[in-house]
Each structure stands twice: as structure tokens, then as C-alpha cells.
Amino acid sequence: MGRFVTFIDIMVTHGYYNDMSDYFQFRPTAETERLMRNRGVLIRHTKRGCQFLIEDDRAGFLSGDELELTLQMQDHNFVFVTQLDDYRPQTFYRLALPEDSQEIDVVSALVSTEEQKESSHFCHITIKLTGKMLEEAKAGMPQEYLLGFCVAAYRWEYMFVPRCGSIDGSKTFLLEDLKGKFLFTLPEKHTNSSLGGMMWRIFSTSPIVCRKFQNCDLQLSEVLTEELSKLLSNAFFRDVQPEEFFRLPPKVLSEILPKILADRSLKKRIVSRFIPCPQPGKFRTDQRGCIREICYI
């Protein structure tokens, strides 16, 4: 028996995941499995994807042979943490890999077909084999395909619900990231009957890329509404009333708010140092492009 050499190496990259083997699985179709047995081709699953191997003293395959795989996702959160554009789960998609090694943006390269989708796979991957592939593999240069997925980004929406059911109108809340990475809007009084009535709603000022472990340190503080209104009025050179807090433009806030948060004259009472980050798919929200977290205070 000869030495096995790799002639195709398929790798997946996704900024949300570390070990790809836990979340992405490549499965040859039944027809491809028969072809592999006839040609003496093996498949080896790796931490980043899969490899096809042949014995270096055998033909391995014939030019014109075609390998077909299904790409299956093992994490139900995949659809929430991945930028999928117009991808439709019930549609049959094909991804044809080129003859030469390439980096491929998977979602933009998918082609929808009229074929019937019979199982819950993400797409079918096809590779047409050539004599050039075999020559290069035996020379130690396998075809390498890097299949890339873009991570989704969302604005964070927080719903702060008072446990006692009432809100002190003389005070308001500030949500800040003590590491200074993320900035949040000023709060809006919001009514949500399913959560008990009146509450405070706060958003991140811009979308935040999904990460399994966000490098931030969120703190919720309580301040006197009148004091905050005075500082904002001074910063904007006009009268800023509480009902306007939430409507202040995020772009302007990004310049003004850090200075206000650092102002020692603003007396803050810490309500919670343990504010969790929103998790995609955990709570439903009617705000497009947002993920929600509900916190009881």
C-alpha cells in the first residue's frame, strides 16, 4: 500500500467559532461515497473542515469525476450569528468550487436551484476533478479552499424592568461599558404589557459584531434626571429636556456622552455591575437589526 497524500483541503473560517469541527460537518453524498470506494479516495475530517486523500501510487480518480458534499451546521445559533443576506432555509443551494485554490465568501457564491431539498443541510458543494489537481497533489501542492462566513452584527437593545413595578420619575439610568468599547443611548420610557408595563429601553449606538465572549464590562447606574438634563443642556448649548434624551442622535452622543459620563459632578449610584450581553435568538424583538436582553432591576 502506498503513501496517502492530500489532494483537496477544505477549510471553514467563521469569526464566531473556534473549533470548526463542533459546528460544521461535510458529508459526501451516496453517489460520491460510491465513487470514492471505486477510486480509492478517502475523506478525513479535520478541526477546520475536511480533506480528500489518495494513495500516491494509484490513479485516485479520473479527470471529469465530480465530488459532491453536503455542508451541515451543528449549531442552531448559526443563523443568528452569521450574515446570511437573502439566504432562505427551504431553498436548495449549490456551491461549485473552482479548479484552483481560492478563498470564497460562501453566502455570496451560493446559487439557488429548483431542486427539492430533502434534508436540513446548508448547501451542496461540488468539485469537478482534473488531471492538474492530481499532478499538483502528488507534487505536494493540494487544492486548498477557504470557505469564509461573515459574522452578523446587531445593535443591542436592553429592556430594564423594575421589580417593584414603579419607576421614580426624578431619576433615570445610564448604561456604560467601563472598558470604553461600546456606547449606549440615553434611556426611553417604554410600555410593554407582556413584561408588566412601564420600563426603560436603551440601545447601543451602533451595531456590535457577535462574539461568544464579548470583551466588555457593562454597568447600569442611576442618576438624577435634572442633573443629567443640565449637563446635556450645557453640552448642546440649548435646553435638553428628559423627553428628548432618547431622541438625541447617536453620532452626536458618541462625542458628548463620554465627557458627561466622566464628569465628576454627575452623582451616579450603581444599580448593577453584572449586566449580561444580549445573545442572538434568546429574546424576540420587533426592532430590525437588533438583539434584546431583558434585565430586572
Q: What is the pLDDT of residues 237-255, one digit of tens each?
A: 889 888 888 888 877 788 8
Residue 30: which H helix or E strand, with range?
Answer: helix 30-39
Q: How much is the average pLDDT of 226-240? A: 88
Q: Are residues 284 and 157 in the same domain?
A: yes
Q: Are residues 168 and 266 in the same domain?
A: yes
Single residue among 149, 165, 185 that ends a domain in this structure: 149
pLDDT at 158 over 80: yes
Highest average pLDDT, of 60-64, 133-137, 162-166, comes from: 133-137
Q: Which of helix, strand or coil describes residue 135?
A: helix
Q: How confident is the model at residue 99 (pLDDT cuts 50, 70, 90)?
A: confident
pLDDT of residue 185: 92
Q: Which of 293, 290, 277 is nearest to 215 (CA)?
A: 277
Q: Would you give the end-to-end CA distance of the chain in angstroms?
A: 69
pLDDT digits (tens, 9 = 90+) for 15-27: 998 777 788 999 9
Single residue among 149, 166, 201 that ends a domain in this structure: 149
Highest average pLDDT, of 54-63, 107-116, 248-257, comes from: 107-116
Q: Are residues 126 and 218 in the same domain?
A: no
Q: Are residues 129 and 159 in the same domain?
A: no
Q: Are residues 214 and 249 in the same domain?
A: yes
Domain ranges, residue 183: 153-296
Please tell me the least confidently modeled range out of 82-86, 100-104, 177-181, 257-261.
Answer: 257-261
Q: Are residues 116 and 176 in the same domain?
A: no
Q: How confident is the model at residue 1 (pLDDT cuts 50, 70, 90)?
A: low
Q: How confident is the model at residue 193 (pLDDT cuts 50, 70, 90)?
A: low
Q: Which of 276, 268, 240, 272 is nearest to 172 (CA)?
A: 268
Residue 76 Cα distances to 122, 225, 270, angstroms: 12, 42, 36
Q: How confident is the model at residue 167 (pLDDT cuts 50, 70, 90)?
A: low
pLDDT of residue 295: 92
pLDDT of residue 20: 78
Backbone Cα Rg of the chain: 27
Q: Which of helix, strand or coil describes residue 11?
A: strand
Residue 142 Cα distances to 43, 59, 170, 194, angstroms: 14, 15, 68, 57
Sign of the dihedral through C-alpha 81, 84, 85, 87: negative
Single residue among 149, 166, 191 that ends a domain in this structure: 149
Q: What percent of the chain has a predicted confidence (pLDDT) above 70?
A: 95
Q: What percent of the chain has a predicted confidence (pLDDT) above 90?
A: 49
Q: Are residues 176 and 286 in the same domain?
A: yes
Average pLDDT over the chain, rounded to an integer? 88
Q: Are residues 140 and 234 in the same domain?
A: no
Q: Are residues 138 and 162 in the same domain?
A: no
Q: Are residues 125 and 140 in the same domain?
A: yes
Query: Taking a C-beta distance cutoff of 8 angstroms, is the pair 210, 277 a contact?
Result: no
Q: How much is the average pLDDT of 193-213? A: 86
Q: Inter-axis angle of helices 250-261 and 225-236, to 10 degrees? A: 120
Q: How confident is the model at residue 62 (pLDDT cuts 50, 70, 90)?
A: confident
How far, rounded to the nearest angstrom, does the alpha carbon of residue 116 sit from its chain's CA centroid? 28
pLDDT of residue 19: 75
Q: Are residues 130 and 36 in the same domain?
A: yes
Q: How confident is the model at residue 95 (pLDDT cuts 50, 70, 90)?
A: very high
How far, rounded to the nearest angstrom, does the alpha carbon of residue 140 sit from its chain's CA centroid? 35
pLDDT of residue 241: 86
Q: Are residues 215 and 127 in the same domain?
A: no
- Give the chain's domain count: 2
